[in-house]
Structure 1
Amino acid sequence: MVGIVLVSHSNKLVEGLKDLISQMAVGVKICAAGGTDDGRIGTDPMKIMSAIEEVYSDDGVLLFFDIGSALMNAELAIDMLDESISKKVEICKVSLVEGAFVAAIDSSIGKSIGDIKESIKGLQIEK
């Protein structure tokens, strides 16, 4: 099953999103990586890296983010991972809420990472 990582500047935002999605996509590994360790707004590449490792499976991991530096820190986190893991992690440049929701539902029914990316293609935020 494809794992899902939610990255946001706000821990409350991604924890709430994780709760919502987890009730709809039972059994999918979802991890929220929001805010900084001191509880402030921001993103932390170490927190993102840990989240990826937590949900990792051989099926891969899809990472969703909110804005700006979340993408930069997600890319940094992936670069810090062992190559055997990082090659199976993909950042999705789609709407955070809708993209993560569709991806989690697709993962719960056993779709591959490629099929999931095809499902969310229409939700792109960057063309």
Structure 2
Amino acid sequence: MVGLVFVSHIRELSEGVIALARLVGPDVPMEGAGGLEDGSAGTDMERIAMAIEAADQGQGVLIFMDLGSAVLSTEMALELNPNPTHIMVDAPFVESAIVAAAAAQGGASTDEIIALIESQKDVKKF
């Protein structure tokens, strides 16, 4: 099953997104990498790298980031242990989490999940 990692600047945000995504993907391996070790805001490439490894069950890992500097930290984390099946996704943080979790729960591949997320990028909330 494809794993999902949520990188945010605060722990509560990554944990909250995972809690919401678990409603549609209860069996999907999901890990959060939110905030710094001391509980303050920020991102840590080593925590991100550990979350990626923990979520990897051999089918790939999709990584979602909340803000721009989370992207930089994730890029550095991926450089620590390069793996072509560990993929950063450029998509809305919360909405894509739900789409990805539901698709992964249904057995979709990383490519299928990315295509589904891409197809949803322009969907309006109202």
Q: Same fold (TM over 0.5)?
A: yes
Give the Cα separation in 1 of the matches to 2:96 and 2:19. 15
1:103 pairs with 2:120: no
Percent of aligned pairs sharing the same letter: 36
| Structure 2 match to 1:73 | 73
| Structure 2 match to 1:53 | 53
Per the alignment, in what secondary structure is the counterpart of residue 43 of structure 1?
coil
Q: How many residues align?
A: 122
Stretches of structure 1 that go unaligned for 5 or more consecutive residues are none
Stretches of structure 2 that go unaligned for 5 or more consecutive residues are none
Aligned with residue 113 of structure 1, among 95, 110, 115: 110
1:93 touches 1:124 (CA, 8 Å); kept in 2?
no
- More helix by percentage: 1
What value does the CA root-mean-square deviation take over the aligned residues?
1.3
2:60 touches 2:85 (CA, 8 Å); kept in 1?
yes
For residue 123 of structure 1, report the CA deviation from its aligned partner.
Answer: 4.6
The alignment's TM-score, normalised by the length of structure 2, stands at 0.92
The alignment's TM-score, normalised by the length of structure 1, stands at 0.91
Runs of 4+ residues over 4 Å off in structure 1 = none
Per the alignment, in what secondary structure is the counterpart of residue 58 of structure 1?
coil
For residue 19 of structure 1, report the CA deviation from its aligned partner.
Answer: 1.1
2:24 touches 2:105 (CA, 8 Å); kept in 1?
no
For residue 12 of structure 1, report the CA deviation from its aligned partner.
Answer: 0.6
1:35 touches 1:41 (CA, 8 Å); kept in 2?
yes
